[in-house]
């Protein structure tokens, strides 16, 4: 279960949220152009409990992002259920590469073309001032989501997401919830952790965690503010 967000209400939300999201879109373009690339390590873990049997798996992946070539992944190690490795982990990697393609980036960006926004309030509980915004997708798309995002008020970068997919990722999944967080690496915000809980129609539950570790920014770039990721706020 995800904890309910706590924040203070803000008056004049419609005008405020338009200005906030316009600034987010502007900063996203600047950061995408400035990010020189990076390398990092990821640890994927999935625990399934339910019919017909419990299953667990883990995969360690080296990730490389290059602005001209996109994302590349190298699997370092795998253990546990081969079904999860092949049908879940590898599909996640393929889907992420697909999401970074230019056409998909435009169709999933945090803009009024793709989402309706409502400013819910402001939050200082994380030690930094943040805007709390409800997002509702304007169409069903596997890369869009509905839920709540937290935006750093100084950098205008998404630093936290609690949401569910706009489009059910699988017939076998009745509901999925995602919690995604980012941390600052140098002058850029990059993914820190993803926790996804999916309820399976046959009665089981799958919990996926992704830990993003050991970032190193590429040299030769001109880092600016935190970097975005297509449809979520970081790279």
What are the pLDDT digits (tens) for 60-107? Answer: 999 999 988 889 999 999 999 999 999 899 999 998 888 777 667 788
How far apart are alpha carbons 212 and 233 in whole angstroms? 15
What pLDDT is recorded for position 170? 65
Q: Average pLDDT in the 48-64 region?
A: 95
The pLDDT, as a whole number, for residue 58 is 98
pLDDT for residue 13: 44
Domain 13-217's class? Answer: mainly beta
pLDDT score of 235 more than 50: no
Q: What is the pLDDT of residue 111?
A: 92
Higher pLDDT, 51 or 191: 191
Q: Extract long-range pairs of 65-73: CB within 8 Å, 24+ residues apart.
A: 65/35, 65/37, 65/38, 65/39, 65/235, 66/37, 66/218, 67/35, 67/36, 67/37, 70/97, 70/100, 70/101, 71/96, 71/97, 71/100, 73/97
Whether 154 contacts 175, CB under 8 Å: no
Least Cα distance to 229 among 143, 136, 132 occurs for: 143
More confident residue, 139 or 11: 139
Could you tell me how far CA 96 lies from the centroid of its own chain?
Answer: 10
| Residue 203 pLDDT | 80
Across the chain, what does the average pLDDT equal?
A: 84
Q: For residue 222, what pLDDT is reported?
A: 40
Confidence of residue 171 (pLDDT cuts 50, 70, 90): low
Percent over 90 (pLDDT), the chain: 59
Confidence band for 174, pLDDT divided at 50, 70 and 90: low
Domain range summary for the chain, segments of one domain joined by +: 13-217
pLDDT of residue 163: 96
- Report d(CA 56, CA 89) in Å as an integer: 12
Which has more confidence, 174 or 22?
22
Can you tell me the distance from the alpha carbon of 210 to that of 207, in angstroms, rounded to the nearest whole number? 10
pLDDT tens string 113-134? 999 999 999 999 888 999 999 9
Checking if the pLDDT of 43 tops 60, the result is yes
Is the pTM higher than 0.95? The answer reads no
């Amino acid at each position: 279960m995800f904890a309910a967000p706590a924040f203070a209400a803000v008056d004049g939300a419609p005008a405020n949220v338009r200005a906030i999201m316009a600034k987010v879109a502007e900063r996203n373009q600047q950061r995408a152009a400035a990010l020189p690339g990076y390398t990092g390590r990821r640890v994927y873990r999935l625990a399934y409990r339910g019919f017909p049997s419990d299953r667990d798996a883990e995969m360690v992946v080296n990730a490389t992002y290059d602005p001209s070539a996109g994302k590349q992944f190298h699997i370092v190690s795998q253990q546990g259920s081969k079904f999860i490795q092949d049908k879940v982990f590898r599909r996640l990697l393929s889907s992420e590469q697909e999401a970074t393609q230019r056409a998909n980036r435009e169709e999933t960006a945090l803009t009024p073309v793709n989402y309706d926004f409502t400013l819910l309030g402001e939050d200082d509980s994380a030690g930094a001032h943040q805007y709390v915004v409800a997002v509702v997708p304007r169409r069903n798309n596997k890369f869009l989501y509905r839920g709540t995002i937290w935006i750093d008020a100084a950098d205008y970068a998404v630093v936290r997401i609690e949401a569910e997919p706009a489009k059910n990722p699988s017939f076998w999944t009745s509901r999925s919830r995602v919690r995604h967080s980012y941390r600052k690496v140098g002058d850029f915000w990059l993914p820190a952790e993803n926790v996804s809980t999916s309820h399976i129609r046959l009665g089981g539950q799958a919990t996926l965690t992704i830990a993003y570790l050991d970032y190193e920014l590429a040299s030769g770039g001109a880092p600016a503010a935190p970097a975005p990721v297509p449809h979520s706020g970081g790279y």
